[in-house]
């Protein structure tokens, strides 16, 4: 068993609620061949041996379902040892303390930071000594006088830490400790400030030119003790002044009290989502005095996309940065306001393109373990995971992440283990929906159909942030929520059947269930002429993309009519990811391109005309008249609508898998060209190597270049003609 299990959890005997703590221990060391440190915290920690940082990752130990799962990290610290040593673990409050915490919990009482660690010294003769946390460690407050994930940090360099007092051992569970599962959270790109702005109100603002998630670093000026405050924000208002209302209660503030010496400031127990900062209390002459550091899970980039239209290239850039900004240990909705939660719907919507852009297998496997851990006894899934409390909300398209995500991971990476790990969660969720659908027990005034296969007896978010209601601020969209729920009930059941079959299981019972749901759906929601009772784009998109209707032609015509009548997309979180796929599938590729290329509100490119460097949460986040959507919910770094990226890889560039393929083992290159582009090029680093597709216009024809990785079969379809491809580079001109 790992030595950390022999250590004791320790905390400060008395705790002044906001300060960060330094736990420390001195020890001699001689003839040590290897030194390994295992450590974790109730809070977030960083760690130093003889003043040198042990951790190259930040915001350790990350965020998991702390009730049952708390990761510890293992570090090789051999190179940092001396004859006499001092180890320091600095801990802040972290995610344990966020305000939605379930205070009734008997299991987790995260009222103050605590740490547990074990340093194992292996000597030249093979013997070992373990230096583990216990009451012999010292603890004191440090110069971080305030820390809070959402509000920021106060670093006071004039504070003289008191002598350490003896730490108190606490009885806190150790059976929740698990070795690191996810990717480490690292400091990644650095952006020196590019523009110094004095706003009309006189605020000193620095623009980093890119919205990032992370924090800033800068040097304090010498010879002054004047307090410096740095406010982080995403947007200037129409007059060019600082706009922070959309952060809601999150203060996102860094406060520094210098002591006259030069210190390189960098917070350690918080992060912010921002493109700009407003600085007070310090003379700024050069924007590059400040650098923004992007912080996110260390995923390898696997996807590339480029084309002849700079606007679409910027869209791809924004999709990538939406992912970088929101894949900080868990897939968050947004990185700035007082949420930053693992919203299940958002992850569901985005997981396909996420897995093309970056290698997300490890990242999502860890989060899937938290989903499993948080699934309720009845089989429902909370709206966000992890949550420090229990909420089994079970909204359609949110909870369905538990079927859609494992299936997508299987499709992208081709490893059956993800299906094995998650099959029972998938099944429990489908069974749960089935019970909800069967149990029409809402009293005598229940007017809806009592068909036991219609999922019409539960609350849902709906087609979140759709633009088809008269009030644009209204969130839940015009598409009937029960329609969406029944469509996803069918879809999740179909994925469960596929997963079961891939695992060699008899799925007859669920195939029958699927058939019954589709029958009920058709009876309730398809009119005699084949059109759908719900006259919305999202309703048509779901019916087509989930293959729920017999008369596809009628649904297709209805969708085309709706897109043309509106003149733009109206879909929200539920319909948007599939909209362009549905149009391409019914042969309306040009219309799909029209929507992609539209620059006016609402559209994917409208935010780009407003200077966006990440995806916005709402189509109407910043309106053409220069006003903002409600500050109650208006993030400028929300990846969900970036789901369009998978259409860019699959349909524009044409990199797809054959039906039934997983891990990109059977490729189908089928680009949809459009005369508004001279060329399109994309690649995905699959488990077997890089699959790439490029098309470019040349003398009235189009030259296609397809790259096929090893151990892969590949076919191309160009102008309706099929070509068998071989490993390596294949060229076709047609």
Whole-number minimum distance, CB 384 to ligand BGC, in Å? Answer: 8
Q: Which of residues 601-640 bind ligand BGC (CB under 6 A)?
A: 633, 638
DSSP 430-458: HHHHHHHHH---S-TT--S---TT---SS
- What size, in residues, is the chain? 734
- Comparison of 358 and 384: residue with beta carbon closer to ligand BGC: 384
Task: Find the residue with minimal CB distance to ligand BGC.
Answer: 333
Is there a contact between 410 and 499 (Cβ–Cβ < 8 Å)? yes
Whole-number minimum distance, CB 347 to ligand BGC, in Å? Answer: 9
Q: Which of residues 263-282 bind ligand BGC (CB under 6 A)?
A: none
Site string for ligand BGC, 406-445 (x = CB under 6 A): ----------------------------------------
Whole-number minimum distance, CB 310 to ligand BGC, in Å? Answer: 29
Structure tokens at 346: 């958002």
**The only residue of 95, 208, 296, 343 in contact with ligand BGC, by rule CB under 6 A:** 343
- Comparison of 332 and 537: residue with beta carbon closer to ligand BGC: 332
Q: Which residues are catalytically annotated?
A: 339, 617
Question: Smallest Cα–Cα separation from 120: which of 75, 171, 67, 156?
Answer: 75
Instruction: Give SS3 for 588.
Output: coil
Indicate whether 346 belongs to the interface with ligand BGC (CB under 6 A). yes
- Comparison of 341 and 704: residue with beta carbon closer to ligand BGC: 341
- Comparison of 461 and 488: residue with beta carbon closer to ligand BGC: 461
Site string for ligand BGC, 323-342 (x = CB under 6 A): ----------xx----x---
Whole-number minimum distance, CB 345 to ligand BGC, in Å? Answer: 4
**The only residue of 464, 606, 616, 664 in contact with ligand BGC, by rule CB under 6 A:** 464
Whole-number minimum distance, CB 608 to ligand BGC, in Å? Answer: 21
- Comparison of 255 and 620: residue with beta carbon closer to ligand BGC: 620
Question: Smallest Cα–Cα separation from 520: which of 438, 624, 398?
Answer: 438
Indicate whether 350 belongs to the interface with ligand BGC (CB under 6 A). no
Structure tokens at 265: 């400031």
Question: Smallest Cα–Cα separation from 91: which of 41, 28, 139?
Answer: 41
Indicate whether 208 belongs to the interface with ligand BGC (CB under 6 A). no
Question: Smallest Cα–Cα separation from 629: which of 604, 596, 607?
Answer: 607
Structure tokens at 432: 């749960």
Indicate whether 461 belongs to the interface with ligand BGC (CB under 6 A). yes
Indicate whether 582 belongs to the interface with ligand BGC (CB under 6 A). no
Whole-number minimum distance, CB 341 to ligand BGC, in Å? Answer: 7
Q: Print the SS3 string covering 110-145.
A: CCCCEEEEEEEEEECCCCEEEEECCCCCEEEECCEE
**The only residue of 193, 345, 572, 575 in contact with ligand BGC, by rule CB under 6 A:** 345
Question: Smallest Cα–Cα separation from 498: which of 585, 411, 425, 397?
Answer: 411
Burial class (CB in 10 A: 0-12, 13-18, 19+), 243: buried
- Comparison of 193 and 607: residue with beta carbon closer to ligand BGC: 607
Whole-number minimum distance, CB 237 to ligand BGC, in Å? Answer: 21
Euclidean distance between CA atoms 457 and 583, whole angstroms:
31
- Number of residues near ligand BGC (by CB under 6 A): 10
- Comparison of 343 and 407: residue with beta carbon closer to ligand BGC: 343
Euclidean distance between CA atoms 588 and 214, whole angstroms:
41
Euclidean distance between CA atoms 36 and 2, whole angstroms:
11
Burial class (CB in 10 A: 0-12, 13-18, 19+), 263: middle
Sign (positive/negative) of CA torsion 683, 342, 213, 205?
positive
Whole-number minimum distance, CB 343 to ligand BGC, in Å? Answer: 4
- Comparison of 464 and 664: residue with beta carbon closer to ligand BGC: 464
Residue 232, strand partner residues: 277
Give residues in contact with ligand BGC (CB under 6 A): 333-334, 339, 343, 345-346, 461, 464, 633, 638
């Amino acid at each position: 068993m790992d030595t950390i299990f022999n250590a004791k959890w320790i905390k400060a005997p008395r705790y002044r609620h906001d300060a960060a703590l330094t736990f420390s221990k001195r020890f001699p060391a001689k003839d040590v061949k290897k030194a390994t440190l295992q450590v974790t915290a109730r809070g977030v920690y960083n760690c130093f041996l003889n003043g040198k940082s042990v951790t190259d990752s930040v915001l350790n130990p990350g965020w998991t379902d702390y009730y049952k799962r708390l990761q510890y990290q293992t570090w090789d610290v051999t190179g940092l040892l001396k004859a006499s040593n001092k180890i320091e673990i600095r801990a802040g409050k972290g995610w344990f303390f966020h305000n939605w915490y379930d205070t009734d919990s008997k299991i987790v009482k995260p009222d103050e930071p605590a740490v547990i660690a074990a340093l194992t010294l292996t000597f030249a003769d093979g013997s070992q000594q373990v230096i583990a946390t216990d009451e012999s460690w010292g603890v004191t407050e440090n110069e971080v006088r305030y820390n809070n994930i959402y509000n920021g940090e106060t670093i006071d360099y004039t504070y003289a830490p008191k002598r350490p007092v003896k730490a108190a051992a606490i009885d806190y569970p150790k059976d929740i400790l698990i070795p690191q599962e996810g990717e480490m959270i690292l400091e990644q790109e650095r952006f020196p400030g590019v523009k110094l702005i004095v706003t009309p109100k006189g605020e000193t603002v620095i623009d980093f030119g890119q919205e990032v998630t992370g924090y800033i670093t800068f040097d304090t000026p010498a010879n002054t003790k004047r307090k410096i405050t740095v406010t982080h924000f995403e947007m200037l208002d129409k007059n060019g002044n600082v706009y922070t209302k959309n952060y809601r209660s999150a203060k996102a503030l860094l406060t520094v009290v210098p002591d006259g010496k030069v210190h390189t400031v960098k917070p350690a127990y918080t992060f912010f989502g921002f493109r700009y900062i407003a600085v007070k209390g310090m003379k700024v002459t050069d924007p590059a005095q400040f650098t923004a550091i992007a912080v996110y899970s260390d995923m390898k980039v696997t996807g590339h996309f480029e084309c002849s239209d700079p606007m679409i290239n910027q869209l791809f850039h924004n999709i990538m940065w939406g992912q970088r900004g929101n894949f900080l240990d868990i897939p968050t909705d947004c990185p700035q306001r007082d949420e930053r939660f693992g919203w299940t719907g958002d992850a569901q919507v985005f997981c396909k393109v996420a897995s093309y852009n970056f290698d997300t297998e490890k990242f999502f496997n860890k989060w899937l373990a938290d989903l499993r851990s948080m699934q309720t006894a009845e089989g429902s899934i909370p709206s966000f995971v992890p949550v420090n409390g229990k909420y089994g909300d079970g909204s359609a398209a949110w909870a369905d992440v538990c079927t859609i995500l494992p299936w997508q991971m299987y499709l992208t990476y081709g490893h059956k283990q993800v299906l094995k790990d998650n099959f029972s969660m998938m099944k429990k969720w489908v069974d749960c929906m089935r019970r909800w659908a069967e149990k029409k027990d809402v009293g005598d005034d229940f007017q809806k159909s009592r068909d036991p296969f219609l999922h019409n007896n539960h609350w849902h978010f709906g087609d979140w942030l759709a633009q088809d209601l008269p009030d644009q601020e209204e969130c839940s969209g015009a598409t009937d929520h029960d329609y969406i729920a029944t469509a996803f009930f069918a879809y999740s059941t179909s994925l469960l059947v596929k997963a079961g079959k891939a695992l060699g299981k008899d799925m007859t019972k669920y195939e029958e269930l699927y058939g019954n749901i589709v029958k009920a759906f058709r009876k309730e929601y398809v009119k005699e002429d084949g059109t759908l009772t719900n006259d919305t784009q999202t309703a048509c998109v779901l019916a087509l993309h989930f293959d729920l209707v017999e008369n596809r032609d009628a649904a297709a015509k209805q969708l085309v009519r709706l897109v043309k009548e509106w003149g733009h997309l109206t879909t929200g979180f539920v319909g948007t990811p599939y909209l362009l796929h549905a149009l391409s599938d019914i042969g309306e590729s040009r219309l799909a391109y029209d929507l992609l290329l539209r620059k006016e509100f609402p559209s994917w490119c409208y935010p780009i005309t407003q200077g966006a460097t990440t995806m916005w949460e709402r189509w109407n986040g910043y309106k053409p008249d220069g006003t903002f959507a409600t500050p109650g919910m208006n993030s400028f770094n929300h990846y969900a609508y970036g789901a369009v990226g998978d259409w860019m890889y699959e349909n524009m560039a044409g990199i797809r898998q054959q039906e039934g393929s997983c891990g990109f083992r059977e490729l189908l290159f089928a680009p949809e060209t459009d005369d508004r582009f001279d060329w399109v090029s994309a690649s995905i680093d699959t488990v077997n190597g890089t699959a790439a597709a490029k098309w470019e216009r040349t003398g009235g024809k189009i030259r296609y270049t397809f790259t096929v990785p090893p151990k892969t079969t590949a076919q191309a379809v160009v102008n309706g003609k099929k070509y068998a491809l071989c490993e390596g580079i294949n060229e076709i001109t047609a």
